[in-house]
Amino acid sequence: MISIGILALLTGITFQLLIEPGYSSSSNEDDQPSLRDPNLDVQPIVDHGLSSPTSMAFIDENNILVLEKNSGNVKLVSDGALKADPVFHLEVDNTTLTCCRGLLGIETLSKNGGNPDVFLYVTEASSNNEIDDEEQEIRNRVYLYQWNGQSLVNPEMILDLPAEPGPNHPGGKLKFGLDGYLYTVIGDLNNDGMLQNFRDGLPPDASSVILKVNATDGTGAIHNPFFNVMEYGSTSQIEKYYAYGIRNSFGLAIDPVNGTLWETENGDEDYDEINLVDPGFNSGWEQLMGPMSESDIDITDLVSIPGSHYSNPVLSFAPSLGLTDIEFLNSSMIGDRYKNNVFVGDINHGNLYFFELNGTRNGIKLDPATQSGLEDLIANEEELNEIAIGTGFAGITDIETGPDGLLYILTFDQASDGDGKIYRISSK
């Protein structure tokens, strides 16, 4: 099967929504999401006016910037109200309207109480005017802007990444580490190279990688695992790589306790993954998805760049259901159980999953009374109900902890032409 990424997983695939008796909802509306914890409440903050939103970021306590994938518009939610007109617009390449390319990722960086810096990940055509419009090279780029209170100004490109052959799997999420470095992820772009674990493939080309860079200029973090690997040349940008072997990802998160990086990985058909990403992590694609024990692959079949290592997913999902964002709730505002633990969304079911971490924070803590089927660390369709804390979100694309300590969920519904909503989860 040829998979075209997160949104295309919706097309032609139908799943039964698993809802456990006793789920609570704060509304009687048919399209209102439901939560398993009766002590939690979910309410829409924005219920119309967004089109195919991919990511959101708070710029202060009262304002949220939201990206629209296909339009290239940046929308503003201010004091709970969505402004009709975009505050910023980028010309994007949205070759596949229901998948992949477009305006994809946003992250903000506060500056001592002043207006924050804003980072955007976008797929766009080359600005080289000497190239005919029909032949312009498509690139994935990260730009740094300043928010001036009304719009984004003073653009500076800090990362220039490939987008071809594509058009699938450009990744696009952005996340700051506790050490101040910026992480971003780009998928395989339909390549079959060394970074996709083909020994005889093309040399590293900045696809299938998680990058860790300085936010001011996009240079590689000095402690990156491949910083001193010189054999592939400057065009590889290998000094910026933190991990490789990534098929495609729609979720990056930083553990607020110890600063480790976690990632969701969107599979082709058999598996999705939640990964703990240590420096030099090789996720194994295109040789495998899911745990190595379930494949006929071993370590020697993978491409080993000096400083790399493979490790199994923390949790796999079989079959693939379109995992999207991952978020550590850095707050106790909805209950101590949720503080510094993990929420994950999916696009196919519209489920919100919750996991408590184990004592060493390198895996999930299973409840033997209710989650015995997950001892193999593979969640099948029948077991989703054991880990879903919420249902009925249409399709989740982003999850964020707000400045108020509450959990915010960004969704869209492909059945309604990408109609997007923002929900807030709070205590009752």
| Residue 114: per-residue pLDDT | 83
Q: pLDDT digits over 71-125, tens only?
A: 999 999 999 999 999 999 999 999 877 678 999 999 999 987 789 999 999 999 8
Q: pLDDT digits over 265-315, tens only?
A: 999 989 999 999 999 999 999 999 999 999 999 999 999 999 999 999 999
| Residue 127: per-residue pLDDT | 63
The total of other beta-carbon atoms located within 10 Å of residue 118's CB is: 22
- Can you list the alpha helix ranges (DSSP code H) found in 68-166? none
Does residue 15 have a pLDDT over 70?
Answer: no
Q: Are strands 309-310 and 281-282 parallel, antiparallel or unpaired?
A: parallel
Does residue 216 have a pLDDT over 70?
Answer: yes
List the one residue out of 136, 226, 233, 120 whose CA is nearest residue 174: 120
Distance (Å, whole) CA 209 – CA 93: 21
Confidence of residue 1 (pLDDT cuts 50, 70, 90): very low
Q: Which residues contact 151 (CB under 8 A, 6 or more apart)?
A: 87, 88
Q: Which domains are present in the chain? A: 8-427 (2.120.10.30)
For 183-221, the DSSP string reads EEEE--TT--SGGGT-TTSPPP-S-SEEEEE-TTT-PBP
pTM of the model: 0.92
Beta-carbon-side half-sphere exposure of residue 98 (alpha carbons within 13 Å): 15
Q: pLDDT digits over 17-27, tens only?
A: 222 223 333 33
Distance (Å, whole) CA 383 – CA 161: 38
Q: Which residues of 289-321 are buried (b: 16+ CB within 10 A; e: fewer)?
A: bbbbebeeeeeeebbebeebebebbbbbbbbbb
Does residue 242 have a pLDDT over 70?
Answer: yes
Average pLDDT, the chain: 90
Distance (Å, whole) CA 194 – CA 186: 15
| Residue 30: per-residue pLDDT | 53
User: In this structure, what token pair is assigned to residue 136?
Assistant: 């312009």
The total of other beta-carbon atoms located within 10 Å of residue 364's CB is: 18
- Looking at residues 44-52, what average pLDDT do you find? 96
Polymer length in residues for the chain = 428
Share of the chain above pLDDT 90, in %: 82
| Residue 99: per-residue pLDDT | 78
Does residue 196 have a pLDDT over 70?
Answer: yes
